[in-house]
Amino acid sequence: MKVPEKPPKPSTGPSQKLVSRINHLRDLLRALPNAIPLNPPVAQSTYHFALEDVEDRGVFGALSHSLEVCLGQTHNGVIEFKERGQRLENLISMIKDAVKKMSEADHIAFESAWLERLIKSAENQGARHPKRKHTQETSTSEGPARHKCNPDDSSVIDLSSDNETNEDTPVVTQASASTSIPHSSELSSSAPTRPIRLLPKKFKQSTLNFGKDMRTEEQKQADRKARMEEAEEKQLEYDEKMARLKKNKEARDRELNRLRVQKHREKKKAEKDGADDANTMLMDQARKQKELAESENDAEKVLGRHGVAEVSRVATSDWRDSRNGTLGGAKQGQAERTNWYHPFLWVHIAVAMIKADWSSEGAVKILQRDVPHLFKHIHRGTIYRWKVKGEREWKVKTLEKVKLHHAILGSGRTGALTKYPHITDEIKSTLLDLRRSGMIVNVPIARSIMLGIIKKRCPSLLNSEFQCSERYVRQFFQAVLNWSPRAGTRAAAHLPADAEDVCERSLMQIVYAMQWYNIPPKLLLNGDQMGIYVLPNSSRTYHPTGEKQVDVVAKDEKRAFTLFVTSTADGDFLPFQQIWGGKTKASTPSSDAPGMNKALDLGFDFTCAASAKSP
């Protein structure tokens, strides 16, 4: 029975041809002419070969990137070796490590794109592959004959006159080495019979010493000097690296100590001066409003007519007057809740808290003793809620209310929907989602949404007492969402989720193209256009107060031109270009227009373009 043949194993590494070409390149780089500098200082060298960003670029891409940067390459440029020595050995090591991880297709691409160019460049600079010298001597009567050895045979025979043998070296007599030694009849009759020592396979024929060292004394000194210089350079690089690491560590330790001390000082300062800063701000406000409470008699006169609550809410008097019984609405009485954040009241509260050592009960006693006509209704629990528990300072929210001179809006009161928090949360989330998307939210839109949600969740809420009126919607905006009417200032942006990644990839593509094709920054242009109105137009205008009708002319008329602005990556701006709507130059400004000569001297360009909408 015939046994089936096993399929050949796939190749797990570079081909022998590619390996031999890499070794050939290594021999050429070692044989570069002496005119090229040997191991220049690190600061003057660009040959820092290393594989970086392998995960992002791939092995072949990382190798190509390293060769481009270190050799200063451009697309299909000529390679020129600027130094020789250890760094080129690092280049060969990097290439060997890279080809082990490449695919067969990458091997072919690397050989054609880089390897052959490197070999050709080394040969063009004068590097020649060192040929092996084969020594062949004829036998003489003075000693044993030395026979020509096969250079491919690693078991080289040494027929030297040395009688001493190494105990680890195999010894073969003439009789036992008949395949490697000529017949005894070919040797001189005077040649004594002695053991023949076989050199280990790790030694190459080119390293055998068949005689004295043929180098001159000058060559020996030059070799020793080169080895000493190389050792000194390696030691210098090591010392510089260690000094740099030590310096970086000291700088990092100093920075960490500085930040630690700064944080400690800021903490101590905040603990010491936090209360004083708040008190300083409050005293400044007290000085500005001192005239309002300078005289108790004046205060009593004012309070006699309006009361403390009404005076503290004087800012809302216009609102009450405009809505008091208008169109059958509810009649608004005088204010009943006192605004303690009003400056003419808060100044006394702040001073009393300091006198009472931040005791709310002590502050109430001082206020009712010194200014009874203003603070006869204040309670210690009210003041206790304004300060930080266990600390001698006001709450941040309290200070914000003092700056606004009234309580912050958004109290959360929902009226008829108080007992239905799930409906309130659904209405709130729906309205917030609309605003995040950029949609306009006004009273009619919000009322329609609220009515729809209420009818769906709890239709029994809508009765004769609660109809979700527009007034209730406005109060819901203010109490729950802390919203107020605002004018739109910009269009809502529609950015994709991966906008930052797209911009980063676009930037790296531009940078790579500029680096690969040597594009100067002044040729990288960035332009944008904007519309400029000749006469700014709007639906709003200043007009005498109280007029019922305000007439405007050419409300919908617009006359504008397009201004194109272009800048370069160097930071320069190109002359502006004005584009006017029209089909002839008559649409552009006339040549005798004011400032035309100055604009032309600056390089401005005036052109026209027919509008697609124009007949």
Beta strands in 437-555 (DSSP E): 525-533
For residue 467 the two structure tokens come to: 């109809």
What CA–CA distance (Å, rounded) separates 445 from 442? 6
Structure tokens that stand for 216 in this block: 């001159």
307 to 89, 90, 331, 457: CA distances (angstroms): 95, 92, 19, 45
For 56-71, how does the pLDDT look when each residue is reduced to its tens digit (9 = 90+)?
888 888 898 888 888 8
| Per-residue pLDDT tens over the stretch 306-328 | 577 777 776 666 656 655 555 44
| Confidence grade of residue 340 (pLDDT, cut at 50, 70, 90) | confident
Element (DSSP H or E) covering residue 234? helix 217-288
Instruction: Answer for the pair 607, 587: CB distance below 8 angstroms, yes or no.
Output: no
In whole angstroms, what separates CA 284 from the centre of its chain?
44
Q: Which of 137-146, 265-274, 507-516 has the lowest mean pLDDT?
A: 137-146
Whole-number pLDDT of residue 422: 92
Asked whether the beta carbons of 400 and 408 are under 8 A apart, the reply is: yes
Confidence of residue 196 (pLDDT cuts 50, 70, 90): very low
Angle ∠(560,562,563) on CA atoms, nearest 5 = 125
Cβ distance 406 to 342 under 8 Å?
Answer: yes
Which pLDDT tens digit goes with each residue over 462-493? Answer: 988 888 998 899 888 888 887 878 777 667 66
- At residue 44, the pLDDT reads 84
Average pLDDT over residues 122-143: 60
pLDDT number for residue 322 = 58
Per-residue pLDDT reduced to its tens digit, 378-398 = 988 889 989 998 888 999 888
Q: What is the pLDDT of residues 395-420, one digit of tens each?
A: 988 888 888 777 765 555 677 888 89
Read off the pLDDT of residues 328-338 as tens digits, 9 standing for 90 and up. 455 556 777 78
Which tokens in the block code for residue 227? 């080895």
pLDDT confidence bin for 180, thresholds 50/70/90: very low
Q: What is the mean pLDDT of residues 521-531?
A: 90
Q: What is the DSSP code (8-state) at residue 421?
A: H
Q: How many CA atoms are closer than 13 Å to the CA of 259, on its beta-carbon side? A: 5
Whether residue 167 has pLDDT greater than 80: no
Per-residue confidence (pLDDT) for residue 478, from 0 to 100: 81
